[in-house]
């Protein structure tokens, strides 16, 4: 199998982060989440973090020029030579075009784009129950995992918290932003013949299996 480059597209709450962790382990790819990089920049109060925070808290997109630059810097790191998985980038057609240009310049084969499809109702339910850990990348849900703010992470003992942008007003804004700015990216890749679609509304383990088959063109399955 040639070094795969993958993009996970889908609305907030589709499970991009959770499934990216799984595909990263299974396929040995470098997992790049622009949201994680930006959250870290905010936590460390870097120049990038200071510029990004207001947009993130409001559920809006950070300006293209900032995100494109950080994605290009990250993709140039040595671990990306083994293949990478982009989670949360590109989110606008301008970002997708910049990525296509960058990949042509550095002669990397075009990525496979997996479009994760899920209803708005399911997204709202998932995001309102989502809980994060400050110490590790595990993502929890109050319903599924019986865990909430005040508990310790069962994986690393870290503090459990709710993302500011998972508050109801920000979730509504993020869904609108997704429809307005990110859905056109699906069409962009569809027209280029790089797109596969996976329904991600079912059980997590079943969805993971479908994603692995889609990501590897059937070369790997979790049976
Ligand atoms: P995520 O963790 O992917 O849901 O991203 C959290 C937030 O980070 C988003 O709501 C945006 O404010 C910002 N962000 C992450 N990736 C991008 C991107 N590719 N373009 C613009 N903003 C982004």
pTM of the model: 0.89
Q: What is the pLDDT of residues 161-171, one digit of tens each?
A: 999 899 888 89
Range 140-152 average pLDDT: 93
Bridge partner list, 84: 5, 30
Rounded mean pLDDT of 190-213?
94
Q: Is the pLDDT of residue 37 over 50?
A: yes
pLDDT value, residue 1: 47
Q: Ligand 1 pocket: which of 18, 61, 86, 161 to mutate (most atoms <8 Å of CB)?
A: 61
For range 147-158, the mean pLDDT: 96
Ligand 1 atom showing the smallest separation from residue 38 Cα? 8
- 74 is a catalytic site residue: no
Mutate to test the pocket of ligand 1, among 62, 118, 126 (most ligand atoms within 8 A of CB): 62
Place of tokens 């804004």: 173
Residue 3 binned pLDDT confidence (cut-offs 50, 70, 90): low
Is 89 a pocket residue for ligand 1 (Cβ < 6 Å)? yes
Q: Which atom of ligand 1 approaches the CA of 55 most closely?
A: 12
What are the pLDDT digits (tens) for 54-99? Answer: 999 989 999 999 999 999 999 999 999 999 999 999 999 999 999 9
Q: What is the mean pLDDT of residues 37-62?
A: 95
Quote the pLDDT of residue 39.
93
Tell whether the model's pLDDT for residue 28 goes beyond 90: yes
Q: Express each pLDDT in 120-134 by its tens digit.
A: 999 998 999 999 999
Looking at the predicted structure, is the pLDDT value of residue 223 above 90?
A: no
- What's the confidence (pLDDT) of residue 7? 97
pLDDT score recorded for residue 99: 97
SS3 of the chain: the string is CCCCEEEEECCCCCCHHHHHHHHHHHHCCEEEEHHHHHHHHHHCCCHHHHHHHHHHHCCCCCCHHHHHHHHHHHHCCHHHHHCEEEECCCCCHHHHHHHHHHHHHCCCCCCEEEEEECCHHHHHHHHHCEEEECCCCCEEEHHHHCCCECEECCCCCCEEECCHHHCHHHHHHHHHHHHHHHHHHHHHHHHCCCEEEEECCCCHHHHHHHHHHHHCCCCCCCC
Does the pLDDT at position 2 exceed 60? no
Q: How many whole angstroms from 21 Cα to the centroid of ligand 1?
A: 17
- For residue 61, report the distance from its CA to the centre of ligand 1, in Å: 6
Q: Which of 74, 126, 131, 174 is catalytic?
A: 174
Average pLDDT over the chain, rounded to an integer: 93
Domains contained in the chain, CATH given: 6-118+182-216 (3.40.50.300)
Compute, in angstroms, the gap from residue 112 CA to the centroid of ligand 1. 20
Q: Is the CB of 178 under 6 A from ligand 1?
A: no
Ligand 1 pocket test target in 13, 35, 72, 163 with most atoms within 8 Å of CB:
35
CA distance 87 to 133: 18
Q: Residue 152: its pLDDT value, please? A: 97
**Position with higher pLDDT, 66 vs 221:** 66
Q: Is 91 among the residues known to form the active site?
A: yes
């Amino acid at each position: 199998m040639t070094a795969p480059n993958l993009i996970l597209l889908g609305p907030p709450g589709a499970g991009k982060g959770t499934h990216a962790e799984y595909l990263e382990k299974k396929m040995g790819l470098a997992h790049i989440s622009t949201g994680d990089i930006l959250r870290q920049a905010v936590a460390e109060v870097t120049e990038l973090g200071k510029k990004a925070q207001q947009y993130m808290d409001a559920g809006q997109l950070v300006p293209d020029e900032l995100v494109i630059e950080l994605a290009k810097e990250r993709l140039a790191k040595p671990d990306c030579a083994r293949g990478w998985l982009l989670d949360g980038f590109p989110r606008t057609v301008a970002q997708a075009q910049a990525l296509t240009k960058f990949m042509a310049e550095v002669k990397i084969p075009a990525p496979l784009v997996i479009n994760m499809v899920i209803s708005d109702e399911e997204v709202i339910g998932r995001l309102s129950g989502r809980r994060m850990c400050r110490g590790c990348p595990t993502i929890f849900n109050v319903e599924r995992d019986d865990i909430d703010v005040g508990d310790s992470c069962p994986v690393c003992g870290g503090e459990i918290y709710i993302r500011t942008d998972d508050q109801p007003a920000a979730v509504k804004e993020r869904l609108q932003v997704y429809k307005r700015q990110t859905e056109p990216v699906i069409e962009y890749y569809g027209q280029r013949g790089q797109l596969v679609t996976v329904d991600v509304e079912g059980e997590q383990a079943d969805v993971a299996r479908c994603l692995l088959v889609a990501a590897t063109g059937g070369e790997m399955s979790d049976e």
